[in-house]
Structure 1
Amino acid sequence: MNTKQYDIIVLGFGKAGKTLAAKFGSMGKSVAMIEENPLMYGGTCINIACIPTKTMIIAASKGLSYDQVLNQREVVTSRLRNKNFGMLDTNEHVDVYTGHGAFISNKEIAVTAGEDKIILSADTIVINTGAVAIKPNISGIDTATGFYNSTEIQQLPTQPSTLGVIGAGPIGLEFASLYAKLGAKVTIFNIESSILKREEPIVQELATEYLTEQGITILNNVTLESVSNDGDKPVITANNQNYTFDAVLYATGRKANTANIGLEHTDIATNERGAIVVNDTCESSVPGVYAVGDVNGGPQFTYISLDDFRIVFGALTGNSQ
């Protein structure tokens, strides 16, 4: 199989990666951008996180119906997604590959799309594959239906009248508030003694007050025993009691998306949580291979990813932004 050579390969269409691709493309460097999911052009923030959830919350606050809220979400995300794709696709020095990318050696990535496969090679590779939801370790979670992560819950075709939320961090609370605004009866299951465990007590208290005012039930110090189904409805068994809902969201953290990108064929080191180990310039244990954004285990914020762009661009050019 032929190998196509580039100056730079970017694996994943996130904030840092797309900005690096656009910047180096504008400088005349040959760049390959690989993205597995066409619904993720532009990265996590604009497609499944910050922007769509805030769009849904604002729409719900205006009293729009569930269908109208979903439509508002799609209008905003599709517009931004198309803009981000076009930014690279119209650059004559950038090739966008839509397919699954996986390393086959330190400096080679195989891209597979259906029956088609191509091998790309570059001296400089940037990994920007983001993070994925962590499925909680609860008995029955792998077989029960009606349990969704934060991406899946945004795409339910009909609004649940009752929603269970496993987890009381920022993601779980945001969706709890959203669905309460839409009129759902929401119950939060929290294994800790208070919500937002990493925040100061005053923040925890105020958030509890605001959520309670929205009619949300918060169960703290919960022991989650199992999950199951009653017909087609999801059931949470906690503290020796069954709770039945129309849908359940599990928001129990996110981890670096490194499981299926072929790192076992490389010398790229990961830590105990699966994140790629990097130095101060976001360079991995393989010289010339960088990991930016959520995949390197840092704080999971878009502005952190954008700063990773600045760091890597400076390391590669000596010209920091």
Structure 2
Amino acid sequence: MKYDAIFIGYGQGAHSLSLKLAGEGWKVTMVEKDANNYDGSCINIGCIPTKVLEHDAQEGRSYADAVERRNQVVENEHITLYTGPASFVDNHRITVETSDETVELTAERIFISTGSEPVFPPIDGLKDTQNVHTSTTLQKQKQLPATLGIIGGGNIGLEFASIYATYGSKVTVFESGEAFVEKEEPEVAEEVKKALEEKSISIFVGTNGETVIAETDSGNQYSFDALLVVTGRKPHTSSLKLMAASRSTIICERRLTGFMPSAMSKARNNLPILQKKTLRLFTTMSQEMARKHWRSGKTCLMPSSLTLPLRGSV
């Protein structure tokens, strides 16, 4: 099947640009491998559902009721698209493994909008241990853990620490860095620490481990009903078979074109990237394609957020 443009990944930015191009007469299709992730992470597993849990905690709702309401909020109506993992055949062709068949799609331009996936630290047995969670799987659990350990003291880890402590979990945070919230100003870091300590959240900085048992530098060991691992994210591109397009990774230049002339890509780098920035990147792509209102694709300063009850930073 031949198209003018193929979008791999159905996030907010890709959806917006695909509608714009279709409105201009382009023949467009979208490919999303996860039927539960239409419209992207923010709607389904990120900003929106976690804020539902946070709001309901402040309102005094039970954890079980909050999880049920969270699941209702993220339900959406599907649109017509190809559902299944995509992989490259060459610079202009991909295959999609749907539940019924393997489909080959061809396009002059291919947009990669696959987002990111969690990174697990190199701790023996971590991935295979029961009750070890990512931020996606933990928020779907119907039973509140009495004790929750969190490996990673970044934005996601601290937000979950605050939410689950509000529901009544005894929360302990382990951060391998030498400073607490080291990317924030010291005054902000102090306020964040104060907010968490008010909820009786234990925080250990400069901790590392090689086994699934959390052990601090002082030799103390801890066990938990659930363990949340939030130690970073990486581009979700491992299944795309990029070598078929003559590259092993995506490298974008200032014009946001990727490793091949036919592809334009958006993948997360090591900076915070908000939904607004994703939409802006695709707006920039659209303008460049039309050769109107040129705007550099170079990463610029954008606000990042750290969300805790009654406290926040940008």
Report the TM-score, using the length of structure 1 for normalisation.
0.87
Aligned equivalent of 1:92: none
* 1:305 aligned residue (275, 278, 285): 278
Residue of structure 1 equivalent to 2:40: 43
**Residue 285 of structure 1 aligns with which residue?**
259
Give the 3 Å change call, closer, same or farther, for CA 297–283 of structure 1 in structure 2: farther
Match of 2:167 in 1: 182
Gaps of 5+ in 1: 90-95, 228-234, 271-275
Q: For 1:224, what is the secondary structure of its paired residue? A: coil
2:109–2:262 CA contact under 8 A, matched in 1: yes
* 1:29 paired to 2:2: no
Letter in 2 for 1:261: L
- The amino acid that maps onto 2:114 is T
Moved over 6 A (4+): none
In 2, Cα distance between equivalents of 1:138 and 1:38: 31
Q: Secondary structure at the match of 1:261?
A: coil
Per-residue deviation, 1:66 = 1.1
8 Å Cα contact 2:207-2:215 kept in structure 1: no
Question: After superposition, what is the alpha-carbon deviation per residue over 1:60-86, rounded to whole angstroms, capped at 9, x for unaligned?
Answer: 1101111111122112211xx32xx44
> Secondary structure of the residue that 1:193 maps to in structure 2?
coil
What percent of counterpart residues are identical? Answer: 33
Among 199, 202, 220, the alignment partner of 2:184 is 199
Shift, 1:237, TM fit: 3.4
> Which of residues 14, 32, 42 in structure 2 aligns to 1:17?
14
Shift in Å, 1:263:
0.5
| Cα-to-partner distance string for 1:15-44 (whole Å, 9 max, x where unaligned) | 221111111112221111000001110011
| Counterpart residue number, 1:214 | 199
Does residue 247 of the first structure (1) align with residue 226 of the second (2)? yes
Q: Secondary structure at the match of 2:25?
A: coil
What is residue 145 of structure 1 aligned with on the other side? 130
Any idea what the Cα deviations from partners look like across 1:117-156, whole Å, max 9, x if unmatched?
A: 1000001110000000001111221332211111111111
Question: 1:1-321 residue pairs with structure 2 within 5 A?
Answer: 4-78=1-75, 81-82=76-77, 85-86=78-79, 89=80, 96-227=81-212, 235-239=213-217, 240-268=219-247, 270=249, 276-294=250-268, 299-320=272-293
Deviation at 1:197, TM superposition (A): 1.6
Q: How many residues align?
A: 293
| Alpha-carbon distance between aligned partners in 2 of 1:37 and 1:143, rounded to the nearest angstrom | 22
**Contact preservation (8 Å) 2:67, 2:141:** no
1:281, CA displacement in angstroms?
2.3
- Conserved? CA contact 1:293–1:305, under 8 Å: no
Relative to its length, the structure with more helix (as a share) is 1
